[in-house]
Homo-oligomer: A and B are copies of this chain.
Amino acid sequence: MPPAPAPGMVAAMIAPLLVLLAAAQAAAVPAPSDPIAADWKPIPDDELMVMTLGDGHRVVIRLASAYAPEHVANLKRLAAARWWDGESVYRVQENWVAQWGDPTEKKPLPADIVARPAAEYEIAGFAPAQRMRKADAYSTASGITADGWPVATDGKAAWLTHCYGMVGVARDVSPDTGTGAELFTPIGQSARRLDRNYTVVGRIIEGMQYLSALPRSGAEMGFYATEAERTPLASVRLASDIPAAQRPHYEYRAADNPRFGLAIAKRERPDPPMVAIGASVCDVPLATRRVETGG
């Protein structure tokens, strides 16, 4: 195997030995930072949005129903109306965002849509199950909620953070101009400067690579100059609207347990110690998994 940046490589080499040691024990137990069965919680079928691209690849979005209820309700109405079917990913700007919906802004919205929902940039309060050890450049504290969302605060307000793969509501200048019909996800270094300035409605939990690897547009703000460059959306459905036999089910790793805390601590205090200190809230792996039955 060629040389590789793999800070966990030593750990990876030791891991098989640990597995052997564990197997030798009468009752093998998971390492302290590994999840146990109780750490996995189902994501409700109606909080999963399955976006199928024209080439059949699937992008699965977990919806942040509890944090942006009005916008997520709009997303559910748009999916129920099959509003996105035949629309496209029409903007891919290098080191910034991929964005999808209707590039013409002329397609009529479903009648039950809230046309000008109030901004939901902030959430009710800052109550993470796990706090990051060190403040970052964008907030005074940050952490992960019990239900697995990255959050930050300035000591007064709190908000979901624009980490790579989070899904936000695109809008015009006025804060109430985003219905949820146009969505974006950060595909580069960071979009934390959008925090508290855009409504976060979800996170991509599968298929991110089908958006992040799309060709970048060199045109203004990354909007593709031609229709041919766009990536078609074949269909966008809530999982709950997919026939039971084909319906996917997912679980998230809950953060309100000491195993999650240990996993963060490992990342924040890497071994060997002669390496960079700390980790940001966007570096915390927020694990989800597909399960064959559930929900």
Contacts and interface: CB of A to CB of B under 8 A. Distances in A.
Nearest to A122: B274
Copy number in the complex reads 2
A2 B170 contact: yes
Given A136-B137, A277-B138, A208 B94 contact: yes
Contacts of A172: 3-4, 9
Contacts of A276: 138-139, 152, 154, 159, 192-197
B282 A189 contact: yes
Q: Looking at chain A, what size class is its interface with the partner chain?
A: 35 or more
A170 B4 contact: yes
A7 B281 CA distance: 22
A94 B212 contact: yes
A190 B280 contact: yes
A90 B1 CA distance: 11
B6 A221 contact: yes
Interface in A154-169: 154, 159, 163-165, 168-169
Given A4-B182, A188-B212, 11 more contacts: A2-B104, A2-B170, A5-B168, A5-B170, A95-B212, A136-B137, A136-B278, A192-B279, A193-B279, A196-B274, A197-B274
Interface of A: 1-7, 9-10, 13, 90-92, 94-95, 97, 99, 101-105, 132, 134-139, 152, 154, 159, 163-165, 168-173, 177-178, 182, 184, 186-198, 208-209, 212-216, 221, 223, 267, 270, 274-283
